[in-house]
Chain A
Amino acid sequence: MAIIEIEQLSKSYRVYQKREGLSSAIRGLWRRQYREVDAVRSIDLRVEQGEFVAFLGPNGAGKTTTLKLLSGVIYPTSGTARVMGYVPWERSNEYRRRFALVMGQKNQLWWDLPAQESFRLHQQIYRIELEQFKKTLAELTDLLSVGELLGRPVRELSLGERMKMELIAALLHSPEVLFLDEPTIGLDVVAQHNIQQFLKYYQQQRQITILLTSHYMKDVAALCRRVVVITSGAIKYDGSLVGVIDKFSGSKILRLLLAAGQSSDGLERFAEVESIDLPKVVLRCRRGEIPKMLSSILQQYQIEDVAVEDPPLEQVIANLFEHAASDSSNQVSL
Chain B
Amino acid sequence: MILRIALEERLVYRGDFALGTLMRFLPIITQIFLWWAVFQSIEGRMAGYSFEDMVAYYLLSMLARAFSSMPGLASTVARQIRDGEIKKFIIQPVDLIGFMLLGRVAHKIAYYTVATVPFALVFFLCRGYFTEGWPPAIVVGAFIASLVMSFLLGYFIDLCIGLIGFWFLEVSALLFVYMLLNFFLSGHMFPLDLLEQPWRSLVDFLPLKYLAYFPAAIFLGKIPQDRLAFELAIEVAWLVAFIGLARWLYARGLRRYSGYGG
Contact = CB atoms under 8 A, between A and B. Distances in A.
Given A68-B259, A106-B85, A96 B12 contact: no
Contact of A113 (B2, B9, B91): B9
Contacts of B5: 110, 113, 117-118, 120-121
A193 interface: no
Given A113-B9, A120-B1, A64 B262 contact: yes
A172 B180 CA distance: 45
A100 interface: yes
A83 interface: no
B1 A106 contact: no
Contacts, number: 62
Interface string B86-106: 011011111000000000000
A96 B93 contact: yes
A73 interface: yes
A181 B262 contact: yes
Given A120-B1, A124-B2, A73 B90 contact: yes
A200 interface: no
Contacts of A120: 1, 5
A126 to B, nearest CB: 7
Interface string B8-35: 1100100000000000000000000000
Nearest to A122: B92
A113 B8 contact: yes
B257 A73 contact: yes
B8 A117 contact: yes
A105 B84 CA distance: 11
A102 to B, nearest CB: 10
Contacts of B1: 120-121, 123-124
A96 B85 contact: no
B258 interface: yes
Contact of B259 (A74, A121, A126): A74
B105 to A, nearest CB: 15
B227 interface: no
B158 to A, nearest CB: 21
A106 B255 contact: no
B9 A73 contact: no
Contacts of B255: 75
Of B9, B12, B90, B91, the most chain A CB neighbours within 10 A belong to: B91
Interface in A159-186: 181
A72 interface: yes
B93 A73 contact: no
B71 interface: no
Interface of A: 13, 64, 68, 71-75, 91, 93, 96-97, 100-101, 103, 105-106, 108, 110, 112-113, 117-118, 120-126, 181
21 contacts: A13-B258, A64-B262, A72-B90, A73-B90, A75-B255, A93-B93, A105-B261, A105-B262, A106-B85, A106-B87, A112-B9, A112-B12, A113-B9, A113-B12, A118-B5, A121-B2, A121-B5, A124-B2, A125-B93, A126-B92, A126-B93
Q: Shortest 6 CB-CB distances between A and B: which pairs?
A: A96-B93, A124-B1, A93-B93, A73-B259, A105-B262, A125-B94
